[in-house]
Amino acid sequence: MSASLNATAEHASAEHASVDAVCADTACVEPLPVLGRDVTVPLVTGGEVSYAALDYAASAPALQRVWDDVAAYAPYYGSVHRGAGYLSQLSTDLFEQSRVTVAEFLDCRPADQVIFTRSTTDSLNLLAAALPADCRVFVFETEHHASLLPWGNARVTYLNAPRTPDEAVATLERALAGRDPYGPALVCVTGASNVTGELWPVRELAAAAHAHGARIVLDAAQLAPHHPVSVRELDVDWVAFSGHKLYAPFGSGVLAGRADWLQEAEPYLAGGGASRKVARREDGGVDVEWHTTAARHEAGSPNVIGVYSIASACRALTEAGFEGLVARERQLIAKVREGLAEVPEVRVLSLFGDEAPRVGVISFVVDGWNSSHFAAALSAEYGIGVRDGLFCAHPLVRTLLGSEPQAQGECGAPEAAPGERSLNAIRVSFGAGTPDEHVDRFVRAVRELVADGAKWNYRTEEGRCVPVS
């Protein structure tokens, strides 16, 4: 990076250093500055309120630090790996240095590759395309669709939802031991559920996989923004995550881990950047020599801005210190769970039970309410943004909800056809940028809506529950 760009980025970082600092004493931990913290939204009941973004599990707001770093780099933007000009050289250096930053953030092994993708979904589809012939894939039905669905070309064994971490390990061990024939195998597992927030026993599952000659990929989309992720300590073969959940917008993701399967596979996309040499043959065709580095699966002009934003977020979270961030988030989790527990009509969804460690993701249903109606009221009457539905984890949410009907109310679930029973839940999620006031407002809103009902009328419009104008 040039001296001028370096100085600009350092200035942007220093400008927020006093706010970003997280001291060892958790009492003085402050939320990290994020974009949108000053946005106000109108209420149907009149007036405006600061928007409470409590849908981090879908997309977390961008860290101010990330936005400032990107703004400092933007005038220097240039093509990557293909240009002799100064800005191209600078952008190439920044792109490759971002790869190093991500590897350090994930505590990768020396031989691991860091491949930049579009998202967690893209990362896992890339890995699925690189599986060796006759590879068996083992995946719990509790996974997000990003890690449940990409394995269509392999022989997939879907494992039933476990009710304890120990049961998860035992279920996997039985499945791996009983596979026939005994050949290459891959286990895919989440680090933290995008529905319940519960942490999965990744290290134990990795040990079980390796003991039975299998490899394991970790879906860290919900884990990496909340907890440190060490490839070495967890002993996973690959890890995938998305920038937009790590406070880094612009549509980039990461697949990091072992290089051999990736080097032996055909490029995920064929095109410039993935190829080292292309030559015409006498018969009219072409011969191609593909890269064996990460570039093999990064064809086309890369998303330099997105990649740099991920690296910036990695640095910001590392410098803030996960110990303090985790401690503060636990306080917010306790506040939400205690508040919901005081409302008898609320049932929090869980696989592993109330005492299971978790990140700031909590899903629940409210007796007498359709979840879409409840979420719409939180938004329109309190300025609180949550998620409702099945959260791209349909088998898991259906398992947790079972056959419990939900009241139809004025609005139905987006996926429910007329006359069908509605089956959906509400999800509140938060993280390093969440102020205490947002959580306090949410708990108060739940209590008031259950006790007093909605103050406004709602109807279903184009599949969504909206206030009647």
Q: Which residues are catalytic?
A: 392
Q: Is 160 within 8 Å of 141 (Cβ atoms)? A: yes
Q: Is 239 within 8 Å of 301 (Cβ atoms)? A: no
Pinpoint the alpha helices (H) of 342-430.
Answer: 371-382, 394-401
Cis peptide before 225 (omega within 30 of 0): no
CA–CA dist 34, 37 (Å, integer)? 6
Name the burial class of residue 452, with classes exposed (0-12), middle (13-18) and buried (19+) by CB atoms within 10 angstroms of its CB.
Answer: exposed
Q: Work out whether strand 286-290 and strand 275-280 pair parallel, antiparallel, or are unpaired.
A: antiparallel
CA–CA dist 92, 83 (Å, integer)? 9
Q: Work out whether strand 185-190 and strand 286-290 pair parallel, antiparallel, or are unpaired.
A: unpaired
Q: Which of 141, 147, 148 is nearest to 396 (CA)?
A: 141
CA–CA dist 401, 80 (Å, integer)? 48
Cα 185 to Cα 157, 170, 213, 237, 262: the distances in Å are 11, 17, 7, 12, 15
Beta bridge partners of residue 239, listed in sequence order: 218, 256
Size (the chain), residues:
469
CA atoms within 13 A on the CB side of 292: 3
- Residue 289 is encoded by which pair of tokens? 């020599």
Whose structure tokens read 């998620």?
Answer: 387
Q: Is 123 within 8 Å of 255 (Cβ atoms)? A: yes
CA–CA dist 278, 351 (Å, integer)? 52
Q: Which of 265, 266, 224, 263 is nearest to 243 (CA)?
A: 224
CA–CA dist 239, 191 (Å, integer)? 10
CA–CA dist 96, 136 (Å, integer)? 34
CA–CA dist 351, 162 (Å, integer)? 7
Q: Work out whether strand 384-385 and strand 52-53 pair parallel, antiparallel, or are unpaired.
A: parallel
Whose structure tokens read 């400032």?
Answer: 68
Q: Work out whether strand 253-257 and strand 238-242 pair parallel, antiparallel, or are unpaired.
A: antiparallel
- In degrees and rounded to multiples of 5, residue 272 shows phi and psi of -60, 145
